[in-house]
Amino acid sequence: MLWKPMAIGTTLMVYPYFVSQTWLLYAIGCALCVGLFIFRD
């Protein structure tokens, strides 16, 4: 089972509930998407 992409995907779904600043939403989202691209195997 690929737990790294699953954890990153779950974090992508959940973190907007806890972050209210727009620039921080974009920064965290971009960082998580890059992480998802890196850990895709």
**Tokens describing residue 10:** 């779950």
Task: Give this prediction's pTM.
Answer: 0.82
Residue 2 pLDDT = 85
Residue 40 pLDDT = 78
CA-CA distances (angstroms) from residue 10 to 7, 22, 27?
Answer: 5, 20, 17
Full pLDDT tens readout for the chain, 41 residues: 788 999 999 999 999 999 999 999 999 999 999 999 998 77
**Biggest CA-to-CA distance, the chain:** 34
Phi-psi region of 21 (alpha: psi -120 to 50; beta: other; left: phi over 0): beta
